[in-house]
Structure 1
Amino acid sequence: MTDPDDPRKDQLSGSVRRRRERRERWLREGERPMGRNLALIGALGWLVVVPALAGLFAGRWLDDRAGGGIFWTAALLFAGVVLGGWLAWHRIGQER
């Protein structure tokens, strides 16, 4: 028996509704132009690279001030890559 209050039923109906909306939008608008796809790829690259480089340079500067090692460089580089990944993920979510 199926339970009418089953949360999987809500997930399934939501998934079907989103797919139908996407299909209707595709039929109405057609495929996205290649230039727009390339622009998105370029923007995603910059969204990851810029925070990573900012973290790298800030970390090198802090390590020089602190007297050596790569503690701040590694930590801020990692933070920059994570921030860039989050920004790219958020940007992709806007395209849907």
Structure 2
Amino acid sequence: MAKRRLRSFQRQIASKSDRKLKARKERKNIWQGLGMFGMVGWSVTVPTLLCISLGVWIDTHVQSKYSWTLMLLFIGVALGCFNAWYWIAKESESD
């Protein structure tokens, strides 16, 4: 009878410790996910803003019937999305 209670108690302790370890691991993954979210945001934002700045500079210095700011905005967003895709793919391979 005492051995059964001991085994039951050991199983309870093992299951609780497994749950706590799993919770710690998931908490770490949440922070990693938030970090990845920020990295993806910046990897899209930086090329977009740089291209917009270049477009505004070109529009103020060169007379053209086309809007360089608008064209470079689309190019910047496309480069940023490609950059974000690259980083996500790289992080997925490392996991």
TM-score normalized by structure 2? 0.63
Alignment match, 2:37: 41
Distance 2:27 2:91 in 1: 11
Quick one: structure 1 residues 60 and 69, their matched pair in 2 at CA, closer, same or farther if it must change by over 3 Å? farther
Deviation at 1:71, TM superposition (A): 1.5
Q: Describe how 1:1-96 pairs up with structure 2 within 5 A.
A: 31=26, 33=28, 34-67=30-63, 71-96=67-92
Cα distance, 1:95–1:32 mapped onto 2, change above 3 Å: farther
**RMSD of the alignment, in Å?**
2.0
Change (3 A) 1:84 1:32: farther
Whole-Å separation in 2 of the counterparts to 1:57 and 1:49:
12
Runs ≥4 residues deviating over 4 A? none
The aligned amino acid for 1:38 is L
TM-score for both structures, normalised by structure 1: 0.63
Gaps spanning 5+ residues in structure 1: where? 1-29
Percent identity of paired positions between Structure 1 and Structure 2? 39
CA distance in 2, matches of 1:58, 1:85: 19
Contact kept, 8 Å, 1:60 with 1:70, in 2: the verdict is: no
1:82/1:90 CA distance change after superposition, 3 Å:
same
